[in-house]
């Protein structure tokens, strides 16, 4: 039976084993998926031990995504731009690194019937989480992709790097000049119950508001968006399932359905203490 793992430190909280087990049942793929805690200074050794044991691939979470990029012998363009790898495949002596976070977001939006083509998108943040979704978002042909960040120079750097006419770097204050179809929060603000100070004028009732963070209760950002009148607010639990689905697809060549797995996870999340 082919074996896969998620590696991190800490790792106890990871939902990836449940997600991949549900995928394997849904698609009748005979795989085993577990989780392992890796010592902070032992990532490279650990990977080589897993390869020697015949493990087929791993997902990598905090704090090893940059080290996973460094150990890769082949790298996708989306992983390179993200500066981070969350999926490693061990193939004939090669370590193939990819980043499925951005496609995970796009897959989740599609599964929730949110159209991206021709739309005006605001991406909040310019850290790893934001970088990871840029290319997959652009691949969906939006009309405009604005990046707003507290440190505007970081957003400007990304726009220069990607060099795509549809992209624009703005400050949080400058959001007042736009009305967006979709706003995606890729800052870490919801983790500390804060919100990025964007202008409420850029949200309409039809703006889809998305937070990459998820929690049992509605996140601080989505609560604020709903208060501004946004009818559709979505948290990042589906992105978690979506990125896992893309990793599963890379390894197994079969794309699992996101919606039923998301439904199960939502029930599990509601039961969390």
Rounded CA separation 174/110 (Å)? 28
Backbone region of residue 253 per phi and psi (left: phi > 0; alpha: psi in -120 to 50; beta: other values)? left
Nearest residue (CB) to ligand ATR, 5 versus 129: 129
| Rounded least distance, CB 212 to ligand ATR, Å | 8
Nearest residue (CB) to ligand ATR, 45 versus 151: 151
Residue nearest to ligand ATR (CB): 127
Q: How many residues bind ligand ATR (CB under 6 A)?
A: 15
| Rounded least distance, CB 258 to ligand ATR, Å | 22
Site for ligand ATR in 126-165 (CB under 6 A): 126-130, 149-151, 154
Out of 194, 201, 216, 229, the residue judged to bind ligand ATR by CB under 6 A = 194
**Residue 119 annotated among the catalytic residues of the structure:** no
Determine, following the binding rule CB under 6 A, whether residue 187 of this chain makes contact with ligand ATR.
Answer: yes
Interacting residues with ligand ATR (CB under 6 A): 125-130, 149-151, 154, 187-189, 194, 196
Enumerate the active-site residues.
65
């Amino acid at each position: 039976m082919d074996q896969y793992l998620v590696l991190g430190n800490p790792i106890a909280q990871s939902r990836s084993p449940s997600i991949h087990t549900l995928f394997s049942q849904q698609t009748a793929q005979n795989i085993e998926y577990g989780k392992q805690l890796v010592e902070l200074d032992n990532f490279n050794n650990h990977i080589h031990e897993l390869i020697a044991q015949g493990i087929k691939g791993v997902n990598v979470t905090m704090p090893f995504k940059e080290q996973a990029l460094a150990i890769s012998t082949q790298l996708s363009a989306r992983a390179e731009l993200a500066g981070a790898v969350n999926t490693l495949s061990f193939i004939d002596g090669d370590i193939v690194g990819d980043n499925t976070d951005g496609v995970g977001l796009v897959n989740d939006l599609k599964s929730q019937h949110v159209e991206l083509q021709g739309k005006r998108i605001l991406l909040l943040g310019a850290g790893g989480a934001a970088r990871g979704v840029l290319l997959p978002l652009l691949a969906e042909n939006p009309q405009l992709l604005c990046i707003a960040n507290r440190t505007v120079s970081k957003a400007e750097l990304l726009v220069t790097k990607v060099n795509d006419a549809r992209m624009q770097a703005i400050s949080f204050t400058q959001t007042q000049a736009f009305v967006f179809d979709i706003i995606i929060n890729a800052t870490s603000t919801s983790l500390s119950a804060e919100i990025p100070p964007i202008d409420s004028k850029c949200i309409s009732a039809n703006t889809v508001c998305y937070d990459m963070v998820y929690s049992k209760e509605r996140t601080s950002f989505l609560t604020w968006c709903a208060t501004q009148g946004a009818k559709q607010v979505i948290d990042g639990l589906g992105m978690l399932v979506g990125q896992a689905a893309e990793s599963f697809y890379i390894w197994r060549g079969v794309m699992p359905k996101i919606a039923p797995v998301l439904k199960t996870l939502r029930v599990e999340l509601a039961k969390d203490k």
